[in-house]
């Protein structure tokens, strides 16, 4: 039973065969970058040239049932396919950037805990370096997405940006003064797990009343299923019944458009909670751009940007109100691969 939308596993690159004739005159001195986005249900692998222009891409199911070794093999196989698709040799790879779920030990390229993959202490970096003989940068998947928005999307030009992505949980990432914000060894900005109110509902760390327990798409869907059950969200009920799995972002947006006032209120409440988290973030880190992303935001970008901005600005000191802007993400599903490749390139530049 798949919880997320069926993913398109087709290649988005142009037909590899049609590219064959060009291969003859291929410039083998050209260098390329892989940006890889490893998620719990799907993985996306994109090939970029030195200017970060997208050359080719593939998206596939993650198949967590394969376990750690099988999963690593599948990652490597996907990279190989994308290289093949574009007729690029592994030796032409300048580097790989791979965003992985959960806290990552960035200095060693190790995924510490990825609950949705079932991984613990997996040395992704070392494995891929062995396979492709190039430098590999392992980062957190949300950091990758936020770096993507910073490098080429909604946060371009920002000094500092924090990204907040409500989904099953709420992912967060931060680019501080051009660098991904992180700890001595681990990635951070786990904003979804920060405490923001007095609700007794426990989050992932056991701490109660976190941003995630109060305002994730799943938290919203939970409230909406109850409304549907009680007959207080008739349009939503017509489309989705009372099944959490059927209450998708689009369904929610449509039921509001169709006049479900209570659904609108629940979404507004979630925005208030995210607004508190943004206020906390501004008070602590003062990013000049906050990027909102994920399916729920994509389905109603104006509503989320406007409401969250309102609540955030209301709850910071006056002098901070004009210091930040809330924006909707621009790159959609590509943010992760773009960011991973761009960050890998930046790390390479900084270390040389």
Residues 266-305 that bind a copy of itself (CB under 8 A): 269, 272-273, 276, 279-288
Q: Which stretch binds a copy of itself (CB under 8 A): 6-14, 42-50, 314-322, 328-336?
A: 314-322
| Torsion angle in degrees (nearest 10) through CA of 220, 247, 245, 270 | -10
229 binds a copy of itself (CB under 8 A): yes
Per-residue binder mask for a copy of itself (CB under 8 A), 171-210, x = binder: -x-x-xx-x-xxxxxxxxxxx-xxxxxxxxxx-xxxx-x-
Say if CB 214 and CB 273 are below 8 A apart.
yes
Distance of alpha carbon 229 from alpha carbon 191, whole angstroms: 31
Q: Which stretch binds a copy of itself (CB under 8 A): 45-53, 92-100, 239-247, 250-258?
A: 239-247
Mark residue 274 as left, alpha or beta (left: phi above 0; alpha: psi -120 to 50; beta: remaining): alpha
CA 222 to mean position of chain CA atoms: 22
Per-residue binder mask for a copy of itself (CB under 8 A), 5-44, x = binder: ----------------------------------------
Which of 19, 320 has the CB closer to a copy of itself?
320
Question: Measuring CA to CA, which residue among 266, 164, 272, 170 is closest to residue 221?
Answer: 266
Q: Which stretch binds a copy of itself (CB under 8 A): 67-75, 84-92, 220-228, 248-256?
A: 220-228
Query: Taking CB under 8 A as the criterion, which residues in 51-90 touch a copy of itself?
Result: none
Query: Taking CB under 8 A as the criterion, which residues in 120-179 touch a copy of itself?
Result: 159-160, 168, 172, 174, 176-177, 179
How far lies 193's CA from each of 47, 111, 206, 261, 351, in Å? Answer: 33, 18, 9, 29, 32
The token duo for 198 is 């007095």
Say if CB 204 and CB 191 are below 8 A apart.
no
Kindly tell me which residue out of 73, 87, 242, 330 binds a copy of itself, with binding defined by CB under 8 A: 242
């Amino acid at each position: 039973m798949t919880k997320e939308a069926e993913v398109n596993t087709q290649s988005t690159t142009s037909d590899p065969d049609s590219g064959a004739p060009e291969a003859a005159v291929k410039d083998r001195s050209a260098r390329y970058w892989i940006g890889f986005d490893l998620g719990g249900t799907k993985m996306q692998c994109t090939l970029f040239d030195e200017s970060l222009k997208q050359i080719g891409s593939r998206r596939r199911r993650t198949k967590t049932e394969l376990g750690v070794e099988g999963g690593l093999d599948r990652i490597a196989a996907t990279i190989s396919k994308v290289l093949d698709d574009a007729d690029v040799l592994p030796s032409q790879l300048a580097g790989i950037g791979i965003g992985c779920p959960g806290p990552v030990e960035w200095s060693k390229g190790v995924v510490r805990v990825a609950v949705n993959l079932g991984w613990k202490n997996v040395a992704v970096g070392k494995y891929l370096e062995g396979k492709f003989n190039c430098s590999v940068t392992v980062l957190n998947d949300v950091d990758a997405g936020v770096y993507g928005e910073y490098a080429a999307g909604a946060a371009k030009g920002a000094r500092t940006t924090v990204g907040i992505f409500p989904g099953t949980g709420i992912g967060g990432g931060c680019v501080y003064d051009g660098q991904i914000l992180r700890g001595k060894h681990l990635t951070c900005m786990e904003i979804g797990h920060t405490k923001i109110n007095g609700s007794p509902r426990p989050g992932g760390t056991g701490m109660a009343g976190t941003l995630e327990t109060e305002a994730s798409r799943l938290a919203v869907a939970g409230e909406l299923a109850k409304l549907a059950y009680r007959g207080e969200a008739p349009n939503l009920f017509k489309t989705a019944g009372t099944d959490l799995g059927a209450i998708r972002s689009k369904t929610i947006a449509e039921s509001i458009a169709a006049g479900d006032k209570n659904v609108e209120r629940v979404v507004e409440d979630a925005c208030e909670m995210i607004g508190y988290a943004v206020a906390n973030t501004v008070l602590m880190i003062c990013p000049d751009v906050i990027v909102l992303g994920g399916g729920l935001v994509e389905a109603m970008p104006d509503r989320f940007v406007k409401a969250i901005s309102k609540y955030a600005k209301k709850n910071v000191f006056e002098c901070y109100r004009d210091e930040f802007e809330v924006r909707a993400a621009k790159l959609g599903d590509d943010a992760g691969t773009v960011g991973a490749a761009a960050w890998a390139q930046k790390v390479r530049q900084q270390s040389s």
